[in-house]
Amino acid sequence: MNEQAFQTLEYGDLRALVRRHAQTEMGRARAEELAPLASVEEVRRSLRAVSECAELRARGVRWSFGELEDPSEALARLRIEGTILEPLVLLELARLCEQASDARASVQAEREAAPVLWESVAELPRTLMGLSARVSSKILPGGELDDRASPELARIRADIVRLRSTITRSLESLMRRTEEAIQDELVTVRNERFVIPVRSDHRGRVQGVAHGSSSSGATVFVEPLETIEANNEFQALRETEER
């Protein structure tokens, strides 16, 4: 079709109209690329699909793909062996699976009235909804893994809580024993290590590794020698949890 025919048919305006009604950025991009079909049979088939959509809509059948991100990058990464996707990306893929499953189920229930639409979605795996549910049950909305995601994760997180409590109690005990050297009886974190605030003029009272000082220089944040091993273990557990 030549340029004059496109202008006569106002094809650009028609494509823009379709684009405005697309629910996702992927749909809008696809609408922007729409071109006339090559054969009469393709045209007839597409018209049948449109008619089926209109009929299902008139019957109150609905499905939606709104608020979905383009999964192309994530799916491309999954083709690389050993790839691990971030929890939020997995949640987005789970939403895609859920909405695709909903669409399949909606069309399947009306497949006699919508054979063309049914043919286009029939090959979608029936397991999509189950897969979506499994992912959603293990990842919280904010992207954190649920403790119940695996027995190993639950054990690691329990160990983290236990060890944090052990380190805190040990540091609190040390601060009570050396209270004249302590600026404030408060366990804090520096460089991802549990430390205590020691007065600079009493630095020698607490043996350990310094992790910086306050802006005034009056306080040094010290990781006492007696908790270094526990801090190392705590960091190892956190790294294992993140993996």
Contact 98, 91 (CB under 8 A): no
How many whole angstroms separate alpha carbon 97 and alpha carbon 75?
13
Q: What is the mean pLDDT of residues 46-62?
A: 88
Q: What is the mean pLDDT of residues 105-134?
A: 89
Domain residue extents for the chain: 66-140, 151-242
Closest CA to 141 of 92, 73, 75: 92
pLDDT tens-digit map of 123-151 = 988 888 888 888 887 787 777 776 666 77
Q: Which two tokens stand for residue 200?
A: 């600079």
Closest CA to 100 of 195, 3, 24: 24
In the prediction, which pLDDT does 117 show? 92
Quick count: other Cβ atoms within 10 Å of Cβ 52?
A: 20
Instruction: Read off the pTM.
Output: 0.59
How many H-runs (helices) and E-runs (strands) does the chain carry?
Answer: 10, 4
At the second CATH level, the architecture of 151-242 is Orthogonal Bundle (1.10)
pLDDT tens-digit map of 196-207 = 888 888 888 888
Closest CA to 19 of 27, 11, 8: 27
